[in-house]
A and B are shown apart, each in its own frame.
Chain A
Amino acid sequence: MFDFPPPQIFLQLSLNGALGGAMYGVAAVGLSLIFGTMRLIFLAQGAMIILAAYFVRALFQSFGIDPFLSLLIVVPVGLIAGWLIYQGLFRKAAVEEDRNISLLIAVGLMFLAENLMTVIWGGNTAGVVTGYTASGIHVLGIRTSFTRTMSFLIALAGTGLVMLFLRKTLVGKAVRAASEDMTAASLMGISPHRVNAIAFAVGIALAGAAGVAVATTFPFNPFAGFIFSLKALVALALGGIGSVAGALAGGIILGLIEAYVQFFVGGSWTNAVAYGVFLLVLMFKPEGLFGRPYKKA
């Protein structure tokens, strides 16, 4: 039915998929942190990423700041914004037993962000075009674009930093403890609100980093975020909910799946296959592809 493509094409597909998937990975790491402490499916994560991408574009167009350099602005702004979002919007809802409330606030935030972006920047597709957007690197007959490679490195660095933060710092350990057992953690003197706020701050900062990656590699529009949130959820499930490195790996696997399906089956089926894999993993390996099985409740 189909001829197996020459290894060159296969390698090229794999590379493209992996580089693109790393972006889902960063988004998934942010979701993973927020889900870990608050048990909240933060559907607005994608909208935050696109918001960051527009922000990067505005910095580039108005002040001529290089998109990759703007990481130094976007990430701190994301940290502060995440903290404020938690304190302003989710603090009250986090203590409610009914978690639909937090979910709905996230949905409201998503609607708000999407439509504010439309009002401010218009609904058309936008992009950031720099002098190096079209430049590529050739290795062994495989071509990769410079911006995609940079995005991949940003994803790696972001995930690495978050892992260091969670493993080495006291605050990071508190976040990990809280995501394992919030009750026990708060009995040990960890304030749930502080941990949640930190998870949110880091999560939105990662959305900022992902925004830089999106702005430089993809054309985007205000409503592109939601599909990003869904993809990040798939990546999260693939990697195992609660695992940071797993989330990045899940994103890369998802990117590979998408690249292969797009080539071998057809572009219109990529989403169905991605979500199908998602359902299968949720049902048969809910701890993720790399995780150890959970203890049964």
Chain B
Amino acid sequence: MRASMWIWAVIAAALALLPFWPGAIDSYAFSFLFFIFIYAILSQAWNLIAGFGGQISLGNHAFFGLGAYATAILWSGNYLWGSLYESHPRIYYFDPVTMAIAGLVAAVGAALVGWPLLSKLRGDYFALGTLGFGEIVKVMFVNGGDFTGGAFGIVAPSSTFDTLLPHYWAGLGLTVAVTIAIGLLMRSRYGLALIAVRDDEMAASANGIDTLKVKVAAFAGSAFISGVAGSLYTYYIFHVGPDSVFDLDWMLLPLMMTVVGGTGTLMGPVAGAFVMYAVFDLARILVPDYHPVVSGLAIILAMLFLPKGLARIGFGLPGLVRRG
């Protein structure tokens, strides 16, 4: 970790301590930040495959949805904890095992579909293929019968909760963990290989890198992270349905946030998620009737004036500039 990254550590620590600020506890800020964390995690996931790996995936919303469904199915069917669930009805909340399984389901899905896709397709064709894959998964869940709850989906057996703080800390913790993991990964031998594949696939392959394996691993990693984000979302929304968790927005918005923050940078996705979600949320508060219009405008304006990401306007934070 470079010394200059301390500023992000300070921000994370401040956010972690925010709930102890007197009177802050009832604030809307926690729900606001919780969504920013979800988007930041999804943006990091997209950045891993597209920014560092150079493979534009338009199917990441499928992995988000797979993670959400896996969580809801495990929870509502009580497949994991058996009789323990009776005595501890909250055991499924942020259960690391459930969340890891949610991520794994998405990662396995990504590996299964990524292997043939990535070995056959590159560039725009891979993007098109993943877009088609996303739609197929959605239709499969609509037609999944009792197992997936059909077009309605699944309602998780939630118990009432009167504070968002566990969600908030879980979201923050996952965002930090994912960011650190990707930061370490990109410094490792594997990360160097991934960047080499992005920059010149033929040269990388000539130097003995198994390019297919590297790309599939990045795709599966991206899916794992997206799946965990989907799991986190399920703990908040309690109802997963094909139209809600397989919505294209779960792919398009993180894509946009990453590009605004800076693709292929470590902190860009996080910064982009903060900035763009704040813009959307402000629009939702200030012009409630027109906020989707404003979102569309915001995307266009951001792309017209910030095509290289926030780093270009001298946003003086480290981790936003893409290195060679």
A interface residues, Cβ below 8 angstroms from B: 35, 39, 41, 89, 92-93, 96, 98, 100-101, 103-105, 107-116, 118-119, 226, 230, 233-234, 237, 268-269, 271-272, 275-276, 278-279, 282-284, 286
Which residues of the other chain, B, contact A272 by a CB distance below 8 angstroms?
135-136, 139-140, 143
A230–B303 touching, CB < 8 Å = no
Which residues of the other chain, B, contact A108 by a CB distance below 8 angstroms?
256, 296-300, 303
Bound complex: CA of A284 vs CA of B300, how far in Å? 36
Q: Mark B279-302, 1 if CB is under 8 A from A, else 0.
A: 000000000011011011111101
Which residues of the other chain, A, contact B121 by a CB distance below 8 angstroms?
282-283, 286
B293–A98 touching, CB < 8 Å = no
Measured CB to CB, the closest approach of chain B to A297, in angstroms, equals 9
A233–B299 touching, CB < 8 Å = no
Q: Does B81 contact A (CB under 8 A)?
A: no
A100–B259 touching, CB < 8 Å = yes
Which residues of the other chain, B, contact A100 by a CB distance below 8 angstroms?
50, 56, 255, 259, 263
Q: Mark B123-159, 1 if CB is under 8 A from A, else 0.
A: 0110111011101100110110000000000000000
Smallest CB gap from B249: residue in A: A111
B248–A115 touching, CB < 8 Å = no
Smallest CB gap from A105: residue in B: B303
A283–B128 touching, CB < 8 Å = no
Which residues of the other chain, A, contact B248 by a CB distance below 8 angstroms?
226
Measured CB to CB, the closest approach of chain A to B192, in angstroms, equals 22
Measured CB to CB, the closest approach of chain B to A88, in angstroms, equals 9
Beyond A268-B139, A271-B139, whether A98 also contacts B263 by CB under 8 A is yes
Measured CB to CB, the closest approach of chain B to A37, in angstroms, equals 13
Beyond A98-B263, A101-B307, A104-B255, whether A276 also contacts B136 by CB under 8 A is yes
Q: List 7 A-B contacts (CB under 8 A).
A: A104-B303, A107-B256, A108-B303, A109-B296, A111-B299, A116-B293, A271-B135
Partner of A112, one of B50, B124, B252, B300: B300
Q: Does B100 contact A (CB under 8 A)?
A: no
Q: Does B304 contact A (CB under 8 A)?
A: yes
B136–A279 touching, CB < 8 Å = yes
Smallest CB gap from A276: residue in B: B136
Q: Which of A109, A112, A226, A284 has the most CB of B within 10 A?
A: A112
Which residues of the other chain, B, contact A226 by a CB distance below 8 angstroms?
248
Measured CB to CB, the closest approach of chain A to B142, in angstroms, equals 6
Which residues of the other chain, B, contact A271 by a CB distance below 8 angstroms?
135-136, 139
Beyond A100-B50, A233-B131, A283-B117, whether A268 also contacts B293 by CB under 8 A is no
Partner of A39, one of B124, B259, B304: B124
Beyond A279-B136, A283-B117, whether A112 also contacts B256 by CB under 8 A is no
Partner of B296, one of A93, A98, A112, A234: A112
Bound complex: CA of A116 vs CA of B290, how far in Å? 8
Which residues of the other chain, A, contact B293 by a CB distance below 8 angstroms?
111-112, 115-116, 119
Partner of B132, one of A112, A282, A286: A282
Q: A93-B304, A269-B143 are in contact. List 16 more A-B contacts (CB 8 A).
A: A39-B124, A96-B307, A100-B56, A104-B303, A107-B255, A107-B299, A109-B296, A109-B300, A115-B292, A115-B296, A230-B131, A268-B142, A271-B136, A276-B136, A283-B121, A286-B121
Measured CB to CB, the closest approach of chain B to A38, in angstroms, equals 11
Smallest CB gap from B150: residue in A: A268
Measured CB to CB, the closest approach of chain B to A136, in angstroms, equals 32
Q: Does B120 contact A (CB under 8 A)?
A: yes
Bound complex: CA of A100 vs CA of B127, how far in Å? 11
Q: Mark B299-317, 1 if CB is under 8 A from A, else 0.
A: 1101110010000000000
Which residues of the other chain, B, contact A114 by a CB distance below 8 angstroms?
292, 296
A104–B50 touching, CB < 8 Å = no
Q: Which of A100, A278, A283, A286 has the most CB of B within 10 A?
A: A100
Bound complex: CA of A126 vs CA of B131, how far in Å? 28
Beyond A107-B252, A272-B139, whether A283 also contacts B129 by CB under 8 A is yes
Partner of A282, one of B128, B143, B252, B298: B128
Q: Mark B234-253, 1 if CB is under 8 A from A, else 0.
A: 00000000000000100010
Q: Which of B124, B248, B259, B307 has the most CB of A within 10 A?
A: B307
Q: Does B77 contact A (CB under 8 A)?
A: no
Measured CB to CB, the closest approach of chain B to A185, in angstroms, equals 19
Measured CB to CB, the closest approach of chain B to A276, in angstroms, equals 6
Which residues of the other chain, B, contact A103 by a CB distance below 8 angstroms?
56, 255
